[in-house]
Amino acid sequence: MSETLWLVVPAAGQGKRMGADRPKQYLSLDGQPILAHTLARLAQAFPEAHLVLCLDRDDSWFDPHSVPFKRWQRVDGGQERMHSVLNALRAIPARADDIVMVHDVARPCITQQDLLALHAAIQRHSAGALLAMPVADTMKRDRGDQCSLRTEPRDGLWHALTPQGFRYALLLRALEHAEQHGTLVTDEASAVEALGEAPRLVSGRRDNLKVTHPGDLALAGAILHNQQAAASMADNGNRSA
């Protein structure tokens, strides 16, 4: 029996840093909610996957018509991201070796190329894998008052992105271990690392933006338009060849 791919999308946050009148996943981006763009990108790469959407129990903004998957379910979000993911894992009839990929709802610019590359890496590496970017900028250590204390070496440092993916049994064990020890993890890879595992870092595109602050919305729109223009040029070139 072949493994099943589960896509977990935590979308229960309120996005308070955006200062908007609604959770940021429902802000309009190029005429559609951010959530709709994100789910469309995932479905383009994995149309047969099972989607698990973690939403606030009292979410009044969600429209089921924005879900492009044939197989999907809604689960209640938790107080923090890790609790939402745990709720999702406990709600699905997954097998131990099934792959679970967790993706931020506020990353609508993820590309099919990166998604497929990550999925292939997860299949090859028992400790799972995550999209990430090598740090390119000089890194400064704050002394505590927004003054620079020292420069940190950037060799070997990566920015963690999403999706992050693992075998179901490993991810469930990692997050339950964090929960039992009162550890709040901000991404799934850190929970897996705490078990002594070393997930694979898969170099991802730098335009895999997470919409967090008001200015990010316009930047995400520009990225989407650039990606669409590049795809159109590639299609035209293929037809001409």
Q: Which two tokens stand for residue 199?
A: 């997930």
pLDDT of residue 90: 98
What's the sign of the alpha-carbon dihedral 170, 186, 82, 72?
Answer: negative
The set of long-range contacts for 214-220, using a CB threshold of 8 Å and a minimum separation of 24, is 214/18, 214/19, 214/20, 217/18, 217/27, 217/29, 220/29, 220/34, 220/108, 220/109
Q: DSSP letters along 140-180, please? A: EEE-SSSSEEEEEP-TT-EEEEEEEEEEHHHHHHHHHHHHH
Instruction: State pTM to two decimals.
Output: 0.94
Look over the chain and give the mean of its residue pLDDT values, rounded to a whole number. 94
The pLDDT tens digits for 34-68 are 999 999 999 999 999 999 999 999 999 999 999 99
Say what percent of the chain tops pLDDT 90.
89
The pLDDT tens digits for 57-108 are 999 999 999 999 999 999 999 999 999 999 999 999 999 999 999 999 999 9
pLDDT of residue 178: 97
99 and 3 in contact (C-beta within 8 Å)? yes
Does residue 1 register a pLDDT over 60? no
Does residue 15 register a pLDDT over 80? no
122 and 7 in contact (C-beta within 8 Å)? no
**3-state secondary structure at position 33:** strand
